[in-house]
Chains A and B, each alone.
Chain A
Amino acid sequence: MTTTVATLKRPEGHYRASGSFRSEWTKLYTVRSTVWTLVTLVVASIGVSILACAETASHWATLSAADKVGYDPTNLSLSGFALGQLAIGVLGVLIITAEYSTGTIRATLAAVPNRPLVLATKAAVFGVVALLVGEALSFIMFLSGQSLLSGRAPDATLGQPGVLGAVVLAGVYVAGLGLVALGLGAIIRHTAGAISALVGLLFIVPLILKALPQSIDNSLSQYFPSEVGSAMGSVHQQAHTLSPLAASAVLCAYVAVALGIGGWLMVRRDA
């Protein structure tokens, strides 16, 4: 019996990052959970945005003056990300926790012992996919939302100041939140635990803050991801929210901290 092949010659040098990129891309598109979470992201985001815009369009005449002052049609048409963000977060978590739960991580690390490289290539491949999907989705949501508002309530166009930036940044938020979730997955390593942490960060903790005295809520809420995402997709900055640029910086900090701790723990812990 022979298992040797004459063609399998060892290349020069050392295993390369390019191979890891190809491998992570293969792993991403060859499982169904990727397709399902992305479909959920698209359906939930567009669905909620369309509902919100249709609702405002039909009730514009009866809205209070106060509501009309804070009205931001761009932000309204992107509001579906408030729900859709959970789907991209789940995908971000699964990309790494599914490797731990199935034992694939040991095959991965045996092939590429450089653990920071493994996490970095996962983040890069997933980040690019999430960014492309997020941007496409953001523009579709904006355009479909504005077409619903058009004629019945004030609408926005991409040419207006700040609008294009808000639409682009909302798509960036999708990718950023996915990377935060990937970092959470690397830290927690269990699917259920990491998704629970994600839901807590996105929905539960902001709810708890609302129950606290208003001054605390006002000063803290704006730094939580959901509010950060909303601020990135805004044209008119609301009270107690960050500017789009400041919100983008906060998102970058979340990504850096989550992936940084995740990578550090990956190096330190046994696989």
Chain B
Amino acid sequence: MIEARGLTKRYGKTTAVDDLTFEVRPGQVTGFLGPNGSGKSTTMRMIMGLDAPDAGSVRINGRAYGDLAWPLREVGALLEAKAFHPGRSAAHHLTALAQTNAIPSARVDEVIELVGLGSVAHRRAGKFSLGMGQRLGMASALLGDPGVLLFDEPINGLDPEGIRWVRNLLKGLAGEGRTVFVSSHLMSEMALTADHLVVIGRGAMIAEMPVATFIAQSSQHFVRVRGPQLAGLIPVLQGAGATVARDDDGALSVVGLEPSTIGDLAGAHQVVLHELSLQAASLEEAFMELTHDSVEYRGDAPPLPRGSRDPRRSAEKVRSA
């Protein structure tokens, strides 16, 4: 269990983490979602006691990190890839960590096998690929068999097989009743892995909810309408309470009315339609919508009206759930 209360971190005039309050519960994977630069890593370092908050506090199983009796046996963390000396072997790196918390050396061999580094355990870790570095980071996180695990962008640099492995590992750990907190800037990844979401932007809380709720709430339906005589239809739809946007290809994106209602209205006004289809925004789109105002760095493309076509968006047909 991780509890953050009013967690705040400032660097000069920039507020990197702004009054975050959330809980990460055992037995489920909690996704920590936000655009790059939104304060995820800073928050994780504060949980680990590496960075001191300017205000607020964070507790792990009711204690500050520094007060844990056997830190590696209570909390495991993968905070950055390649957090090891390039001249030292994976086995020696893990041995040095194990010794601090009186973890038997047999466990070092065990986690090396678990993450699949058995054949390279005695090679200098500087020769590792990014993916192998991530696996070594995973091994150090699992070393003390901890009940609380933090992973900062664990799938970075992994191939598809590695990504699937991490996904299963996270779910497996949560299934064993552990607290699993994993950050990502990819909503699609979190939809597959996480049970619960903490979403931040520019260091501030945007949403905290189960993934299922997020998906349900954020699936913005709109109706795509195409035809030769749409100009006359727009005021009719607006009069019926819809929000209407005209796309570049001349089609209308209509939010707020069902396709059947739009068809009825078109028929009543004798407007010919060539297309009338229900569209749903993808999860990634919903996430971008949610965090749009809080992205730290972005190109200067102007924000588009809701429901309109956008090259960044990939509207997909509604799936029958």
Contacts and interface: CB of A to CB of B under 8 A. Distances in A.
A252 B39 CA distance: 43
A14 B69 contact: yes
A178 to B, nearest CB: 19
Interface string B62-92: 0001101111110101011011111111001
Interface string A75-116: 000000000000000000000001100111011111111100
Contacts of A270: 45, 50-52
B66 A114 contact: yes
B68 A113 contact: yes
A111 B83 contact: no
Interface string B90-108: 0011011101111110110
A152 interface: no
B76 to A, nearest CB: 9
B70 A10 contact: yes
Contacts of A239: none
B163 to A, nearest CB: 16
Nearest to A118: B100
Contacts of A98: 85
A111 B97 contact: yes
B92 A30 contact: yes
Interface stretch (B166-174, B189-197, B227-235): B166-174
B87 A109 contact: no
B73 A10 contact: yes
B164 to A, nearest CB: 12
B282 interface: no
A250 to B, nearest CB: 34
B176 interface: yes
A19 B84 CA distance: 19
Interface residues of B, number: 50
Interface string B31-71: 00000000000000100111110000000000001101111
A113 B66 contact: yes
Contact of B87 (A13, A22, A31, A103): A31
A63 interface: no
A20 B100 contact: yes
A186 B79 CA distance: 22
B284 interface: no
B46 to A, nearest CB: 9
Interface in B134-181: 140, 142, 144-145, 168-169, 172-173, 176
B96 A30 contact: yes
A106 B78 CA distance: 10
B310 interface: no
Given A1-B172, A19-B99, A104-B83, A8 B107 contact: yes
Nearest to B168: A1
Contacts of A99: 85
Contact of A26 (B51, B66, B96): B96
Contact of A31 (B85, B140, B145): B85
A87 to B, nearest CB: 17
Interface of A: 1-5, 7-8, 10-11, 13-16, 19-20, 22-24, 26-27, 30-33, 98-99, 102-104, 106-114, 270-271
Given A5-B145, A113-B68, 5 more contacts: A4-B145, A30-B88, A106-B79, A107-B93, A114-B66
